[in-house]
Structures are given as C-alpha cells and as structure tokens.
Amino acid sequence: MIRLIFVVAAIIAACALTWFLTLNPGSVEIDFLGAQWRMHFALALAVLLLGTFFLFVVVWGIFILWTAPDRFTRFQTRRRKEKGFDALENALIAAAAGEGEVAVRQAARADALLDRPALSRLLAARAAEAAGNLPGAEAHYEAMLEDPKSRLVAQRGLAQIAYGRGAHGEAAEHAKAAFEASRSAGWAFDALFDAQVAQGDWQAALETLSEGEKRRRIPTDQASRRRAVLLTAQAQEKESSEPAEARALAEKAVTASRGFAPAVVLAARLLAPARKHKKAEDMIKAAWLQVPHPALARALGDLRKSDTKAKRAERLRQLVTLRPDHRESKLLLAETALDESQAGAARSALEPLLNMGTPSARLCALAARLARQEDNDAEARRWMTRASHAPGEADWSDIDGDGRAFAYSPEDWKRMVYVYGDEGRLTHPRYERFELAAGAVPENALLEAPKPARKAGESPDFYDAPRPPDDPGVGEDEK
C-alpha cells in the first residue's frame, strides 16, 4: 500500500513537472571551446539526466570489475562455511543417532571446511565416542587441553572415558583439575566424588564432599548421609589398628546422621572398651527413636557384658517404649519374652505380626521358638519348614563369624554411599544379592526342631531327615 502511494505520488509529480515545462519552454545555450549549442530547456534536462545515468553505469561497472576478486573470495568462503555447517549438522545428528562411522566422516569433512579447531576437535571426539573409538576420542580431547576455551570440556570427556574403563585414578585427576578450575561445573564434583569413592579413598571423598556442600552442589541432608557412610567406612578400616581414631570417626558419623545404624553400632562397640557405656546407650536410643533396627537392639544387649539376663531384658524393654508401635519394637518385645520363657507375652506380640501378610523367615523362626516353648512339636516343625522358604527382611543385622554387625566389604560401603546417602535406604547388600540373612534361619534349625512321635508300623528312620512340603509323607499341618 505504501509503495502504491509512492508510485502515484511520483506520477503526479512527473505530470506536474511536464505541465510546468510545457507552459515555460525556455532555452539553454552552451558555449564551450568555441562551439555553441542552443536547445530547449526540456531537452537539455533530458540530456543531463541521461548523461548522469550513463556515467553512473560506467562507474558502477568499473567498481564491479575492481572488487570482483574480493567478492569471489568472500563468496567461496561463505559457500565453504555453509558446507562446513551442513557437515557439522550431519555429524551431530549421526552421533546422536549412534551412527559412529557416518559421524566420523562428517566430522572430518567439517574439520576440513571450518576454521574452528576447538569445535572441530570436539565434534571429532564425540564422533569417535559414538563409533566406539575411545583411544581416538582421548587423542582429540588431549589436543583440546591446550586451548583454554575447550579445556574444561576436554577434562570432562577424559574423565568420563577413564571412569568407564575403570581407571579411577586418572578420572579423579582430570575431574579434580576441572573442580579446582571452575566453581560452576557441577559435573566436576560428581565425577571427582564418584572416582574417589570407586577408589575407596574415603578421606579424599570426604574433602570433596565438604567442598561440594560449600558450593551448594549437593543438598545438605544428602551430604550428611553420605558423610556418615564415608566416616563409618573409614572408622571400620581403622578399628583394629587405631581404635581411638576409629572411635572418633564413628562418633562423627553418628553426629552426621543419628539414624544410621552401622555408625551407631560401630560407635557403641568402640565406646564399650573405653567404659563409655552411657554415651553409647544414649546413641543407640537416639537412633532407635529415628529408625528402629534389629542391630541397634543387639548392640544395646551386648553393650555391658556384666549385665544379668534380667537386666539385659529390662534395657531392651526400655528401648521398646521409645517406639512401641513400630514393627521392630514388637519383634524385640517378642524376642525378649521368648528369652525369658514368657510364652504368653511372646504370643501377644507375635500374633498380630503373623496375621499381617506373608511372614518373613525371621518371624517364622520366632513363631517356631514360641511353639517349642509351648511344647507344640508339630507347630514348631511347621514354622521352621516355612522359615526355610520364607523371604528375608531388608532390615536385618548381618552378624559375621566374630559376632560383628555390618561387617561390610569395601564394595558394600561404596554401594552404601549412594543407597543410603542419596535415597536414605538402609538395605543390606546381601539382601539385594538374594542371600539369606545370617541368623534369620539357623543352619541347624530343622535339626533342632522336635520330631513328632512315630506311629505304629512306621520305620524308625521315617522322620530322621526333613522333607520338602510337597512330599506325600508330609501332613497338612507340616506344609
């Protein structure tokens, strides 16, 4: 619309000028070097305009010819960049799609067309990774270390490749350099911490965790749980060689996370020889208030070797009163009653738990103990048969040959850093490996279960060995 207005205005102006020149014809005389010309003003104006246009065309042509080489060079450069960016786009798409060979070819083409060494090397490294050529990717990343602009991404790539092939020391070296150089690179904290945990370097992992917490790279509660696991692992390693230092580390672990049962059990075990029983008992009770765990009850019962059986039972009942409605408190109450041969109290505590879904192996074993105390041999044998096939419990106390709870291996501690540290779950590693809990079903449980009386005419060895529930000789009350 605006253009139309301008066209109409131009036509009107031309018509007005023509009308004006028609009414005022006039003339123009030119006297130059003895030559004289005389013409109408309108014709002179037309000649002037045509001459000006011709002069402009000549000057424009000369300019085009003069700048043609530079323009051609710029055109070639622009075309080269367009082809380079096309190759770059194709390489990125191929790398994301997992077409490693295509990505490598396109990356090489982009490298040849684009004068961007950092971008080309990064693309070549990513393409090599997509093709599974990790040595080639490492070579490109190492070349990128020389450029400050690309050093951080090169360190990340080298750390990831090193961690993937199990070279945790090398991965930690690259991640540490990036962690110290950049406060905003969140990946550097994760990579460095993971590599140090994988190495089992608890002290270095603790230092990295503290620095990451200062930089707000990890939530405070998550950092506290991770710290508790690391300190407990470190304390366990020093338990036999440096008990005093191990005790201090275990107490720090309890302070970091009061509900972390392995730390509390270890601290109580180390405080007992120093005759700090009251402090250990307070730790156990504080942990029980947060998360009751069978290992805590065992630790409290074993805390004072001089306690009589009655005194030990009294302390355990005090523990029950802290969380009376918790399932673990009810189990502890039942165990205490069974230890004191109080069958009625034990049955009152066990029956509600036995009626809540499928009972665990631990619960079946307690029910068998109760049946034996009540002289119900058939019931005891039935419960022990069920215990041998019942599922284990996630929260159980791992007791090794020396009677120690939570005697984790270094690999177990590495796993616990993330399972408990990040998720807050205290599930024993053996449970996740589908191993039965130690002590949940004693190996001689079936052998100790009373045999029912033989019937007339049956062979003497009919009940000598336990049989599977589907055996035709097993009665309905034994299945």
pLDDT at 450: 45
Instruction: Look at residue 394 and give its three-state secondary structure.
Output: coil
pLDDT tens, 66-84?
988 888 888 887 887 788 7
424 secondary structure, DSSP code: -
Count other C-beta atoms under 10 Å from residue 11's C-beta: 10
| Residue 283 pLDDT grade (very low, low, confident, very high; cuts 50, 70, 90) | very high
pLDDT beyond 60 at 403: yes
Q: What is the pLDDT of residue 171?
A: 94
DSSP secondary structure code for residue 405 in this structure: B
In the numeric block, the tokens 């090794």 are attached to 400
Provide the pLDDT confidence category of residue 402 given band limits of 50, 70 and 90. Answer: low
DSSP class of residue 478? G
Residue 401 to residue 411: CA distance in whole angstroms: 19
The answer to whether the beta carbons of residues 467 and 474 sit under 8 Å apart is yes
pLDDT at 399: 66
- Using the predicted structure, report yes or no on whether residue 440 has a pLDDT greater than 70: no
Query: Residue 401 has what pLDDT?
Result: 55
Rounded distance between C-alpha atoms, residue 314 and residue 425, angstroms? 30
Average pLDDT over residues 195-219: 95
Alpha helices in 98-242 (DSSP H): 100-113, 117-130, 134-144, 151-164, 168-181, 186-199, 202-214, 220-238
Residue 36, beta-bridge partner list:
31
What is the DSSP code (8-state) at residue 451? Answer: P
| pLDDT tens column, 254-274 | 999 999 999 999 999 999 998
Tell me what pLDDT residue 436 has. Answer: 52
Looking up tokens 């905003």 gives 184
Of the pLDDT bands very low, low, confident and very high (cuts 50, 70, 90), residue 43 is confident
Q: pLDDT of 136-194, one tens digit each?
A: 889 888 988 888 888 999 999 999 999 998 999 999 999 999 999 988 888 999 999 99
What's the pLDDT at 237?
A: 93
Q: What percent of the chain is modeled with pLDDT above 90?
A: 44
- Other beta carbons within 10 angstroms of residue 211's beta carbon come to 16
Mean pLDDT of 418-447: 66
Residue 397 has pLDDT above 90, yes or no: no
Report which listed range, 2-11, 330-339, 358-367, is most confident. 330-339
pLDDT of residue 244: 94
Q: How confident is the model at residue 463 (pLDDT cuts 50, 70, 90)?
A: very low
Of the candidates 387, 466, 395, the one whose C-alpha atom is nearest the C-alpha of residue 430 is 395
Q: What architecture is the 220-324+404-429 domain classified under in CATH?
A: Alpha Horseshoe (1.25)
Q: Cα–chain-centroid distance for residue 343?
A: 48
Between residues 182 and 20, the one the model is more confident about: 182
Beta carbons of 28 and 44 less than 8 angstroms apart: yes
- For residue 37, the cross-strand partners are 30
Contact 100, 133 (CB under 8 A): yes
Q: Which among 396, 469, 381 is positioned nearest to 435, based on CA atoms?
A: 396
pLDDT band at 49; cut points 50, 70, 90 = confident
Whole-number Cα distances in Å, 130 to 93, 133, 187: 11, 8, 20
Arithmetic mean of pLDDT, 458-474: 41
Residue 462 has pLDDT above 60, yes or no: no
